[in-house]
Amino acid sequence: MAKQQNVSPNGGDVNTKLAEEIILNSNEGDIEARETSVSERESAASEKEADIEAREISVSERESAVSEKEADIEARETSISEKESEIKKREKALLLKENVLSTNTESSEPGKSFHCQDIGFKFKDSAPKLIRYDGTVFTQEQIISDPEIILDFVSSNSNLIEKR
């Protein structure tokens, strides 16, 4: 006896056609599932990309703000250094003026007295305590102890001495 086959009006085996249809439906389901998965992944990637772009913009803005602050700080430090230099120069000039004033205050002490050719002289009260003579610095006492220098001061009518 011969086995009877189910033949479809199209000319194919019904079981084969059913199997093909099941496979096609299964493949369509797989394709739809994959399409859904791809769509979800694409959506997630787009969200992540948007998040990363927003973070990148935020980081760029923060970097820019930090760079501006660094530039401001460098400018302030430069300004502070310049002011410090200026203050040091002013302090140095002030010290020099104070030294000159203290020297002048010392000069207000009475000048030293001496005799030359039996005439009494004295250094003026305004005369400095240190006097440069012939390239050498002398005190009033050293000048008084050297008769040649005294004679030179008296004969030249120096404005540092006066008669008593």
Residue extents of the structural domains in the chain: 12-107, 109-163
Whole-number pLDDT of residue 9? 53
Whole-number pLDDT of residue 107? 47
For residues 131-161, b (16+ Cβ closer than 10 Å) or e, as one string? beeeeeebebeebbeeeebbeebbeeebeeb
Query: CA 155 to CA 56: how far, in whole Å?
Result: 92
- Mean pLDDT calculated for residue range 55-67: 95
- Mean pLDDT calculated for residue range 12-34: 77
H or E element in which residue 76 lies: helix 14-107
Query: CA 70 to CA 84: how far, in whole Å?
Result: 21
Poorest-pLDDT segment among 22-26, 30-34, 117-121, 152-156: 22-26
Q: What tokens were used for 141? A: 């006492």
123 phi and psi, to 5 degrees? -70, 140
Q: Which of 56 and 104 is assigned the larger pLDDT? A: 56
Global pTM reads 0.39
- Mean pLDDT calculated for residue range 49-59: 95
Q: Is the pLDDT score of 79 beyond 90?
A: yes
Q: What tokens were used for 49? A: 């990309």
